[in-house]
Structure 1
Amino acid sequence: MRLSLLDRSRTRAGEPDSAALRHTVARARRAEQLGYHRFWVAEHHAVPGIASGSPPVLMAAVAAATDRIRVGSGGIMLPNHQPIVVAEQVAMLAALYPGRIDLGIGRSPGFTEPVRRALRAAAADDDTFRAELAELRSFLDGTGPVTVRPRPERSVPLFLLATGAGLRLAGELGLPAVVGGPVLDDRAALEGYRERAGDAAHLVVSADVLVGHPDLALSEAWALAAARTTGEFPPLEPPDPGRRTTARQRDTVARSLARTLAGDPDTVAELLDDLVARTGADELMVSSSTWDREALDASDAALARLLVGGRAHAGR
């Protein structure tokens, strides 16, 4: 089983957004040293808590700062972009860093209506998304109506960020699928994906994993609770177990903490064993964050010791 990281460039209260981006690049360098297989970055627009609005630019910075680790997007949201533009960006990255670039594709539009208007984007129905995905693939494999430049010299692995409906599409197209959240408990959807994809099936399970004190997960849980009640996803703040919250916020925090795999190494190992057994994961994509950057770095290292250092390996 491969072990990978998704870093969303989470901002922190009292710091400039640039600090989050610098930490993303530094975290990628450490991930490579620890034996992680992939390091992916995210796409979010006009979100106070996330500094990453342009995955290709950040991917270039990460790839330039590393030597071996695969670098990708988790993901580029196709409704926000013309397929040919995505293909050109990825082709350029692949030409500069051959054999190291992944392309994760999603279908979520902007977080709020003003952001969607600014992006000139709208939610894509199944048929539209399927057509745009096919167009993107044609540009990448050289069968499109025009040839993108630089012309791709080798294939770029394409992953689909999937919910239930997305899993069906990924299976039909024989694409690797990245899944997280409630769909991880949908055994029928996961089994259906494998049946449709056949030998091409590759299931990447995304989960929040923190090796350390369980309170490390509080900052992210509070941010999620704030987003659900105010509509704005905020920067991370220091954890404070005594923080005043509403009943609705406490419920959101509790559900977020329940989904996070956190604790000492033995506890996390047991939780991961259960997750893999339930989902049949081929790869683990860790997407956690916390206020304390040193604690996050220590968690990354401890997780690598658990998986890369003995319980599993980074894979091919």
Structure 2
Amino acid sequence: MTAATDSSASGPTVRVPLSLLDRSRTRQGESPGAALRNTIERADRAEVLGFHRFWVAEHHAVPGIASGSPPLLMAAIAERTERIRVGSGGVMLPNHRPLVIAEQARMLEALHPGRIDLGVGRSLGFTAPVREALDVLRYTPEDFARDLVDLEAFLTDDGPVTAMPAGVPAPPIFVLATGSGLATAAERGLPVVVGGPVLRGDLAPLNDYRNRFRPSRSCPEPHLIVSADVMVAETTQRARELMLPEAWAMVTSRSTGAFPPLSSHAPQHLTDRQQAQIEDHVAQSVHGTVAEVGRQLTELVHRTGADEVIAFASTYDRQSLADSDAALATLITP
């Protein structure tokens, strides 16, 4: 697999599919309902712009994130759109029984054939009280592997009971993976979505995934999607400024244990350590002008061997985020 940017007259392109992940981030002074409606509107624009997939996330009892139920939001998005693939990034297996997840996915697939993706992960709740409310205090890699096997069985009619609606083709499963998750996905012959520390460190886990991969009916060869925090603007400085609201929220969450709504203003009285964390967050993102982002994404794809990039980004100013999406879409290969 190769990737490059094309500097033809039509502009640079990244020669792997580009997709979006939206976490329904709330803003100060705005209702959670507004955040959810904006996610649906963003998906509608993403389809027009030519993005490959549009995924939503699962977070529970987080003040800064309005989406706690990917299937419900996926249903609203799929109903609003016509062609773009709609998925979860992802449904957390510790929080749901495999049969329930399978039936939700099958229902979506029955209503919107050939457009549904089922991304699954194993993250627990954001804080101890949330984990207690979900009644999930411990969840091991072995638990995840077991639930993944059960989920596949229900989706392919190999389980002890039939997941309804019956006779619906199984939507593809994608594993949101870290170290042990990569190994599990390789053994099951499933595609993976990787971001964060795995991409910034030693890439041996990705090579191990490919080497250990066992072809399956749904995925005959390894398939890697990399997730990246991407922001595009007219200048590098402006793109950096747009990254700051999310960085401020991240720093606040580390000190308070609560992930806040996005704000247009920096927290007061930042320590040197917090300022360093903000700078680190921005430095680890992909941001800049269209040409700069195109080069950064190309390097990322070359370095990781990715088959696709799914971009997630949030900022306080919604119009600037929409403009970033439109600019990023110009990098999509026709």
Shorter-chain TM band: over 0.9
Note the alpha carbon deviations across 1:113-139, whole angstroms, 9 max, x for none.
111111112332121111111111100
Q: How does 1:103-114 map to 2 (within 5 A)?
A: 103-114=118-129
Count of aligned positions: 308
Structure 2 residue matching 1:208: 3-state secondary structure? strand
Per-residue deviation, 1:195: 1.4
User: CA–CA distance in 1 between the matches of 2:202 and 2:320?
Assistant: 32
2:205 to 189, 194, 214: 189
**1:132 correspondence with 2:147:** yes
Give the Å deviation of 1:172.
1.6
Match of 2:224 among 187, 203, 207: 203
Counterpart contact for 1:80–1:121, Cα < 8 Å: yes
Q: Please give the secondary structure, in 2, of the residue aligned with 1:43.
A: coil
Identical-pair percentage: 56
Name segments (4+ residues, structure 1) moved above 4 Å. none
Question: What SS does the aligned partner of 2:330 have?
Answer: helix
1:31-50 superposed matches below 5 A: 31-50=46-65
CA distance in 2: counterparts of 1:80 and 1:41, whole angstroms: 16
2:4 matched to which residue of 1?
none
My pick for the range that moved more, 269-278 or 295-304, is: 269-278
For structure 1, the 5+ residue unaligned runs are none
Matching residue's letter, 2:103: E
Give the residue type in structure 1 aligned to 2:261.
P
Per the alignment, in what secondary structure is the counterpart of residue 5 of structure 1? Answer: strand
Greater Cα shift, 118-127 or 259-268:
118-127
The amino acid that maps onto 1:83 is: P
Per the alignment, residue 57 of structure 1 pairs with: 72
Separation of aligned partners in 2, 1:82 and 1:152: 20
Q: Which runs of 5+ in 2 are unaligned?
A: 1-15, 215-219
Superposed counterparts of 1:130-209, under 5 Å: 130-184=145-199, 185-197=201-213, 199-209=220-230
Q: Counterpart of 2:165 in structure 1: which amino acid?
A: P
Letter in 1 for 2:84: I
| Superposition deviation, residue 152 in structure 1 | 4.1
Per-residue CA deviations over 1:27-67 (Å, capped at 9, x if unaligned) read 00000000001000000000001000001000000001000
Separation (CA, whole Å) in 1 of partners of 2:279 and 2:21 = 23
Cα distance in 2, alignment partners of residues 42 and 261 from structure 1? 20
SS in 1 for 2:193: strand
Match of 1:288 in 2: 313
1:96 to 67, 88, 111: 111
Which moved further from structure 2: 291-300 or 250-259? 250-259
Question: Superposed, which structure 2 residues align to 1:269-308 within 5 Å?
Answer: 269-306=294-331, 308=332
The whole-number CA distance in structure 2 between the counterparts of 1:92 and 1:256 is 38
Deviations 1:136-178 (A, max 9, x none): 1100000000001101421210000001221111112111000
TM-score (norm 2): 0.90
Q: Distance in 2 between matches of 1:269 and 1:239?
A: 29
Shift, 1:284, TM fit: 0.4
Shift of 1:186: 2.4
For the residue of structure 2 that corresponds to 1:200, the secondary structure is: coil
Confirm or deny that 1:227 pairs with 2:253: yes
CA shift digits 1:87-137 (9 cap, x unpaired): 111111111111100000000111111111111123321211111111111
**Structure with the bigger percentage of helix:** 1
Question: Match of 1:93, as an amino acid?
Answer: L
